[in-house]
């Protein structure tokens, strides 16, 4: 076993060597612009892009024509949400949830300042929304234009009831967008089965390169209309101007194809590793609890609260293991996780929580090492903590 150990795979993943191998020719001798239609360099690049477009589409049950390449899920989310509202005249009602990623919450806040109505649904203690609550909103006089919910939460791994949400939205004539950056390639996602109209993907969450992503845009039943957010060339069917990142696109396509083929096996392996880590931590420590859903959860996710221990101090005590206390997009802030607070955790408990993100390259030996060291460090910190003495 090699140190340090990486267990922050929700923040980003190591690029798979097979993905890098697919990308390398497009970083060297195959350097054409995919928009150059007058010579072989451009034709080859265009063909590589279209092959990758089909690979991304196959992962989520879409057609290649429905895939728009972006710089990542954040851009995809902004294009989906703001683009749908602006295509509707700039004023609309948008529904999202309290545990959503900032890449959705922030665009919603931006729209709200410009006259849109935004409804943020609460979640239960597992982090799941209520279908009944959503139905009441969809059935109201102020029917939303768009509903946007994460498929899988980036901090607690909770999976939303996507099939039920999609069916309800479709039946009411409301667009359904989901940020599937954490879910695509890890759990089955099918845009037609789940009646998804817009779906965001990020390459670096599925062992592909950073700086590349995609947005699925439904072309029929209904045909989704979006207003472009970047202008200057009309690339990607006019929805995303800018010279295509051919090496990144090839890498995203390869990552999606690998995930599609190996998903079932990887799901079982990561679930077993996650459960092993959870069991060892629960057996070795008291006053520890799992956050989120036990049943509806990503296979590699484990978010736990260690009472009486500050999460930042705990992570400093296990320097050989890369962990996080929440979303990488907000980890520089000292505020407690908005996700954990939405589940009902108080500020102290939220500051005592750690996210373990197991991935493709983690091993059983690494899990055992991590569990042993977490247990050891937590015990030592509690011995020094007057706050914990009050709990025992």
User: Which residue numbers are catalytic?
Assistant: 329
Asked if residues 360 and 16 have their Cβ atoms less than 8 Å apart, the reply is yes
Q: Report DSSP state, residue 160.
A: P
Instruction: Give the other-Cβ count within 10 Å of 46's Cβ.
Output: 18
The Cα–Cα gap between 377 and 79 comes to 44
Backbone phi, then psi, for 391, in 5-degree steps?
A: -85, -25
Sign of the alpha-carbon dihedral angle for 265, 268, 270, 273: negative
Question: How distant, in Å, are the alpha carbons of 46, 188, 388 from that of 377?
Answer: 53, 37, 14
Q: How far apart are the first and last CA of the chain?
A: 36
Closest CA to 147 of 108, 180, 184: 108
Helix/strand/coil for 84: helix
The Cα–Cα gap between 107 and 70 comes to 16
Asked if residues 301 and 11 have their Cβ atoms less than 8 Å apart, the reply is no
Helix/strand/coil for 324: strand
Q: At what angle do helices 162-172 and 131-138 cross, to 10 degrees?
A: 10
The Cα–Cα gap between 171 and 173 comes to 6
For tokens 């929440």, name the residue. Answer: 326
What is the helix (H) or strand (E) element at residue 146, kind and residue range?
A: strand 146-148
């Amino acid at each position: 076993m090699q140190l340090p150990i990486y267990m922050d795979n929700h923040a980003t993943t190591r690029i798979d060597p097979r993905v890098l191998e697919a990308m390398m020719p497009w970083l060297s001798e195959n350097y054409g612009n995919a928009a150059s239609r007058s010579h072989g360099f451009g034709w080859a690049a265009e063909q590589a892009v279209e092959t990758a477009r089909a690979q991304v589409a196959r992962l989520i049950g879409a057609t290649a024509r429905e895939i728009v390449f972006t710089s990542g899920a954040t851009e995809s989310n902004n294009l989906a949400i703001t683009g749908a509202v602006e295509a509707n005249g700039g004023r609309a009602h948008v529904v999202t949830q309290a545990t959503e990623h900032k890449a959705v919450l922030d665009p919603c806040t931006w729209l709200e300042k410009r006259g849109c109505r935004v409804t943020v649904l609460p979640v239960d203690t597992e982090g799941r929304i209520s279908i009944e609550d959503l139905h009441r909103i969809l059935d109201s006089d102020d029917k939303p234009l768009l509903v946007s919910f994460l498929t899988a939460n980036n901090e607690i791994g909770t999976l939303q009831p996507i099939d039920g949400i999609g069916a309800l939205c479709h039946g009411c004539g409301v667009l359904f967008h989901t940020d599937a950056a954490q879910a695509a390639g890890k759990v089955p996602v099918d845009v037609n089965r789940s009646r998804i109209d817009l779906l965001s993907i990020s390459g670096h969450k599925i062992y592909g390169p950073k700086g590349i992503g995609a947005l699925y845009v439904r072309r029929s039943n209904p045909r989704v209309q979006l207003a472009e957010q970047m202008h200057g060339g009309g690339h990607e069917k006019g929805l995303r101007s800018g010279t295509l990142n051919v090496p990144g696109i090839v890498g995203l396509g390869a990552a999606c194809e690998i995930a599609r083929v190996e998903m079932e096996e990887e799901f079982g392996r990561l679930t077993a590793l996650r459960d092993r880590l959870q069991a060892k931590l629960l057996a070795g420590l008291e006053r520890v609890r799992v956050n989120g859903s036990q049943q509806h959860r990503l296979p590699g996710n484990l978010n736990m609260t260690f009472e009486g221990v500050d999460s930042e101090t705990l992570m400093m005590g296990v320097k050989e293991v890369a962990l996080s206390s929440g979303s990488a997009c907000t980890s520089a802030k000292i505020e407690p996780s908005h996700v954990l607070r939405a589940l009902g955790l108080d500020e102290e408990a939220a500051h005592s929580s750690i996210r373990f993100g197991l991935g493709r390259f983690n091993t059983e030996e690494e899990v055992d090492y991590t569990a042993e060291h977490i247990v050891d460090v937590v015990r030592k910190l509690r011995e020094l903590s007057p706050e914990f003495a009050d709990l025992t």
